[in-house]
Amino acid sequence: MTKTAAIKKHCSDCAGESYLDVVFCVVVDCPLWPFRLGIRAGTGTYNKRMDNSIESHRELVNDICADPQIAPFFQLSSSKTHHLARNKGRVTKTTGVE
């Protein structure tokens, strides 16, 4: 088993076999958290996967972002023309840079 496969399996087991729980894992202090999607956090592929997940599951992201310590980990990548911003506990799509 490769390191990547072992990390993905560990994260899946930890999240109860739920892919969404792996994607939106809130255990951000876990040393494996940056690698939970099978790629290192911050890469173009990682950002694209996270952006798609965030846009597809906005209600779930709103719940997660109610915690100000977790919210910064679940924002659209800066490479997009828009980003998610916290506004009174809600995530809204905005354009430009605030």
* 3 state SS of 60: helix
Task: Give the residue-averaged pLDDT of 56-73.
Answer: 81
The string of pLDDT tens digits covering residues 27-43 is 888 899 888 888 888 78
Q: What is the CB neighbour count within 10 angstroms for residue 54?
A: 22
pTM, entire model? 0.63
The values of phi and psi at residue 6, to 5°, are -65, -40
Tell me which of 12-16, 21-25, 68-72 is least confident.
68-72
* CA distances to 18, 19, 21, 33, 42 from 13, in Å: 8, 10, 10, 14, 24
Task: Give the residue-averaged pLDDT of 78-95.
Answer: 38
Q: Is pLDDT of 73 > 50? A: yes
